[in-house]
Amino acid sequence: MSTARIQPTVTAACVLSSTIKHRFGLTSLHLPTNNSAAFRRQRIKRNLTVSMSATSALDPLEICVKASVTVPDKLGDCPFCQRVLLTLEEKNLPYDMKFVDLGNKPEWFLKLNAEGKVPVIKFEENWVSDSDVITQALEEKFPDPPLAIPPEKASVGSKIFSTFIGFLKSKDPGDGTEQALLDELSAFNDHIKENGPFINGEKVSAADLALGPKLYHLEIALGHYKNWLIPESLPYVKSYMKEIFSRDSFVNTRALPEDVIAGWLPKVMG
């Protein structure tokens, strides 16, 4: 296990609302220390700028993420982990990643999250799981820059991921799974054409940070296992993906293609 720390030279505050704490029954647990054999720390220093009203120093937020299965001490292929990391990056918040081997989950990790799922992030002394809950809490406590999206646009592109999985797993070319995916991509293409370049217009939003990692998995997995590419007839989907994938936040948090391919192999073989 190892960590990668993103350390800013800024001031801010990190406080999780008691509402979140009480609702999810959060518990506290100390991770192994820096000199523990459980971790080999990899420090990455980056100058970030956070505009906050508080004056106390903001410590890096600790976050447990999937470890790579192909390269030691690298981020793995979980799109939900990347969603949270993208949120942290876009909000210029410092974070400290703890890489968890999901094939051999350590005891300390299961104690803080009995379900054994990632991502899990630490707010003060409390651990919070579920990317929906985490990103909502980050938006509430660190509203600048704003990433919230109007409710009427929150579900745009939300069915692409499930139809992608259906097509990837399919062994029957005529079962309609490819067409189901194309229908969802076509609807998304129309939305971006009328509203783009992002889901909510000119600025990136939480919806883009949720969908972007899933489209990254779609492109790599379908390209590898089915030799399938986004059709040229969907130019706005292609331009959207190029725009998202080229953002610094995405480049800093994307999984290795080899990990994405390895991660989807059980689905393909199942």
Q: Which residues are catalytic?
A: 78
Tell me the C-alpha distance between 86 and 248, whole Å.
9
What distance in Å separates the CA atoms of residue 128 and residue 113, rounded to the nearest whole number? 9
CB 150 within 8 A of CB 201: no
- Torsion, CA 122, CA 128, CA 133, CA 135, rounded to 10: 20
Residues forming a β-bridge with 6 = 44, 95
Cβ atoms of residues 55 and 89 within 8 Å: no
C-alpha 263/C-alpha 220 separation (Å) is: 11
Q: In which element (H, E) is residue 183 found?
A: helix 177-195
Edge to edge, the sheet with strand 2-7 lists: 40-45, 2-7, 95-100, 61-66, 120-123, 126-129
- Record the tokens describing residue 93, joined without a space: 């918040």
Helix intervals (H) in 25-174: 79-90, 107-112, 131-141, 160-169
